[in-house]
Amino acid sequence: MVGLNDTGDSNSTQFTTQSLVNMMERLGVTVAPNTVKVQKNHPTAGRIPDGALVEREVPYVFGQRQELKYRLKDSDFTTVSRMREAVNQHFGGEIAMALDAGQLQVMVPESHVDHVVDFVAELERLEVTPDTLARIVGNEKTGTIVMGDKVRTSTVAVSHGNLSLVISEQTQCFSAGTTKSGADRRDSRNYGRCRRG
C-alpha cells in the first residue's frame, strides 16, 4: 500500500506518483508524470479543533404544511404516474400530482389536516409496482440466458450447437365480419438428438 499515514510517503515521493500514473494508464487515461499532484484528504473537508455547539435548531414542525413532496430514488415517469394514480384512486379526488419524473406532490386533504401522521401512514401502505427495464442477462461460460417479462423479440432465428430457436409471427383474424387482426407469436425449439456410443 502507498500513501498511508506514517508509511514514509510524502507529496514528493516518486513511487506514489508513478503508481498513480500507471494505474490511470491501465484504465486508458494517459497522464504526464510531472502533472500529477498528490493531495491528502478531500479539498472540501474541514475540521473544527475544539468542536462546536448548535445554538439553535432549524425550526420545522411536521404537519404544518398543506402539501407533502415525495422524491423517487430512481426517476421514472411510469412509476411516478402509477404513484399519482394509486393515491388519487385511494383517497378519491385529485390530491396527488406528478411534478416531474422524480417527484410527487400530495396535498393533505381537509379531512386529514389534524391527523397528518395517520395520513402519511395510510399513504405508506399503498402498493405501487415500479416500472422495470427490459433486461437480458447472459452467462457466456454456461450458455445460460435469463430475460425478464418486459423483453420483446421480433422475428428471429438463433442456432448454436445442437440448439435452434425460431420465433415467428402469424396474423390471425379475431372476428368474422370485420378486418381486425393481431399477431400471434410462436416459437419452436430443436435441441438435437443425443447419440449413444
Residue range 93-143, pLDDT digits in tens:
899 999 999 999 999 998 888 889 999 999 999 999 988 878 888 887 887
What is the per-residue DSSP string for the chain? --S-TTSS--TT-HHHHHHHHHHHHHTT----GGG-----S-TT----TT-----SPPP--TT-SSEEEEE-SS--HHHHHHHHHHHHHHHSSS-EEEEETTEEEEEPPGGGTT-HHHHHHHHHT---PPP----EEEETTTTEEEE-TT----SEEEEETTEEEEEEEEEEE-SSSS--EEEEEEEEEE---PPP-
Q: What is the pLDDT of residue 41?
A: 56
Q: What is the pLDDT of residue 62?
A: 80
Query: By percentage, how much of the chain surpasses pLDDT 70?
Result: 64
Phi, psi of 7 (to 5 degrees): -100, 0
Could you tell me which residues are beta bridge partners of residue 137?
A: 146
Burial of 62-82, coded b for 16+ CB within 10 Å and e otherwise, reads eeeeeebeeeeeeebeebbeb
Is there a contact between 92 and 73 (Cβ–Cβ < 8 Å)? Answer: no
Model pTM score: 0.47
Q: Can you read off the three cell numbers belonging to residue 19?
A: 503508481
pLDDT at 2 over 60: no
Q: Identify the CA nearest to 106 among candidates 65, 163, 160.
A: 65
pLDDT at 165 over 50: yes
Cα atoms in the Cβ-side hemisphere of radius 13 Å centred on 56: 3
* Integer Cα distance of 83 and 97 in angstroms: 9
Q: Identify the CA nearest to 100 among candidates 62, 70, 142.
A: 70
Q: Give the Cβ contact number of residue 156 at 10 Å.
A: 10
Q: What is the pLDDT of residue 98?
A: 95
Is there a contact between 88 and 94 (Cβ–Cβ < 8 Å)? Answer: yes
